[in-house]
Chain A
Amino acid sequence: MPARRHLREMFLQPACQALPSLAFGAFLAAGLAALAGPAAAQTGEKPTLTVYTYDSFSADWGPGPQLKSAFEATCGCTLDFVGLEDGVAILNRLKLEGPSTKADVALGLTTDLIPEAKATGMFTESGVDTSDLTVPTGFSDPVFVPYDYSYLAFVYDTETVKNPPKSLDELVSGDPSQKIVIEDPRTSTPGLSFLLWMKAVYGEEAADKWKQLNRRILTVTPGWSEAYGLFTKGEVPMVLSYTTSPAYHEIEEKTDRYQAAAFAEGQYLQIEVAGILKGSQHQALARKFLSFLVSKQAQEVLPTTNWTLPVRDDVDLPEAFSNLVKVDKPLLIDAETVAKNRRAWTDEWLQAVGAR
Chain B
Amino acid sequence: MNTSTDRSIRIGAGIAAAILAIAFLLGGFVVLLGAGDQAPDFADLLGDAYVRAILGFTLLQAGLSTLLSVLIAIPFALALHRARFFGKPLILRLFLLPQALPVLVGALAIITIWGQNGVVSRALASIGFGRLEVYGLTGILIAHVFFNMPLAARLIVAALDRVPAESWKLCGQLALPPLTVFRLVEWPALRQTLPGAAALIFMLCVTSFTIVLVLGGGPAATTLEVAVYQALRYDFDPARAIGLSVIQIVLTTLVLLATLLLGRDPAGGFGLGGKSRRFDVKSHVRGSLDTALVTLGTLFVAAPFIAIVLSGLAADLPRLVTEGAVQRAALTSLGVSLAAASLSLFVSVLVLLAIEALAHAKRPGVLRRFIRISLETATSLVLVVSPVIVGAGWFLALRQVTDVLAAGPYVVVATNAVMAMPFIVRIVGPALRQANADTGKLTESVGLTGFARLAFVDWPAMRRPLALAFAFAAALSFGDLGAIALYGSNDFVTLPYLLLQRMGSYRTADAAGLALILGLIAVCVMATVERGFAHRKDVAA
Contact = CB atoms under 8 A, between A and B. Distances in A.
Interface of A: 1-5, 7-8, 11-12, 15-16, 19-20, 22-24, 26-27, 30-32, 34-35, 37-39, 41, 55-56, 58-62, 81-85, 88-89, 92-93, 95-97, 100, 179, 184, 186-187, 214, 217-226, 228-230, 232-236, 245, 248-249, 252, 307, 343, 347, 349-350, 353-356
B219 A19 contact: no
Given A96-B396, A235-B115, A39 B334 contact: no
Nearest to B506: A248
30 contacts: A2-B540, A5-B540, A7-B87, A12-B527, A19-B524, A19-B525, A23-B525, A24-B528, A27-B335, A30-B331, A30-B334, A30-B335, A38-B491, A38-B492, A56-B504, A56-B505, A59-B501, A59-B505, A83-B489, A88-B233, A100-B399, A187-B230, A219-B213, A219-B216, A226-B108, A230-B214, A234-B117, A245-B506, A307-B506, A349-B219
A219 B218 contact: yes
A16 B524 contact: yes
A34 B331 contact: yes
Contacts of B491: 37-38, 41
Contacts of B396: 96
B409 interface: yes
B339 A35 contact: yes
A270 to B, nearest CB: 16
Contacts of A353: 218-220
Contacts of B216: 219-220
Interface stretch (B183-191, B400-408, B459-467): B400-408
Given A31-B331, A179-B116, A228-B508, 15 more contacts: A4-B86, A4-B89, A23-B529, A31-B334, A31-B339, A35-B339, A38-B406, A84-B488, A89-B485, A97-B399, A219-B215, A220-B219, A226-B108, A229-B104, A229-B511
B395 interface: yes
Contacts of B486: 89, 93
Interface in B75-134: 86-90, 104, 107-108, 111-112, 115-118
Contact of A1 (B87, B234, B520, B541): B541
Contacts of A307: 505-506
Contacts of B403: 38-39
A15 B504 CA distance: 29
B210 interface: yes
B368 interface: no
Contacts of B353: none
Contact of A355 (B53, B331, B527): B53
Contacts of A220: 213, 216-219
A60 to B, nearest CB: 6
Contact of B220 (A20, A35, A355): A355
Q: Among B89, B506, B511, which residue has the most Cβ atoms of chain A within 10 A?
A: B506
Contacts, number: 232
Contacts of A30: 331, 334-335
A353 B135 CA distance: 15
A184 B213 contact: yes
Given A222-B210, A235-B115, A15 B135 contact: no
Nearest to B474: A23
A185 to B, nearest CB: 9
Contacts of B490: 55, 58, 81-83
A217 B218 contact: yes
B327 to A, nearest CB: 9
B63 interface: no
Contacts of A234: 117
A8 B90 contact: yes
A55 B210 contact: no
B236 interface: yes
A1 B221 CA distance: 49
B451 interface: no
Contacts of A26: 331, 334
Nearest to B118: A235
Contacts of B163: none
A321 to B, nearest CB: 15
A222 B529 CA distance: 35
Contact of B405 (A4, A20, A82, A245): A82
Interface of B: 35, 49-50, 53, 86-90, 104, 107-108, 111-112, 115-118, 135, 209-210, 213-220, 222, 226, 229-230, 232-236, 274, 325, 328, 331-332, 334-336, 338-339, 392, 395-396, 399, 403-406, 408-410, 413, 485-486, 488-492, 500-501, 503-508, 511, 520-521, 523-525, 527-529, 532, 539-541
Q: Among B209, B399, B408, which residue has the most Cβ atoms of chain A within 10 A?
A: B399
Given A23-B524, A26-B334, A229-B508, A219 B214 contact: yes
Contacts of A12: 523-524, 527
A218 B135 contact: yes
Contacts of A24: 528, 532
A110 to B, nearest CB: 13
Q: Among B335, B336, B491, which residue has the most Cβ atoms of chain A within 10 A?
A: B335
B217 A219 contact: yes
Contact of B395 (A96, A223, A235): A96
A229 B532 contact: no
Contacts of B521: 19
Contacts of B331: 26-27, 30-31, 34
Contacts of B88: 4
A31 B332 contact: yes
B498 to A, nearest CB: 9
A32 B410 CA distance: 11
B506 A252 contact: yes
A213 B304 CA distance: 31
Contacts of A35: 332, 335-336, 339, 409-410, 413
B334 A15 contact: no
B332 A89 contact: no
A245 B505 CA distance: 10
B161 to A, nearest CB: 15
A5 B539 contact: yes
Given A89-B233, A355-B219, A96 B392 contact: yes
Nearest to B498: A59
A312 B197 CA distance: 60
B402 to A, nearest CB: 10
A92 B389 CA distance: 13
A248 to B, nearest CB: 5
A249 to B, nearest CB: 8
Contacts of B235: 343
A27 B334 contact: yes
Given A20-B528, A37-B492, A88-B234, A354 B218 contact: yes
A295 B10 CA distance: 67
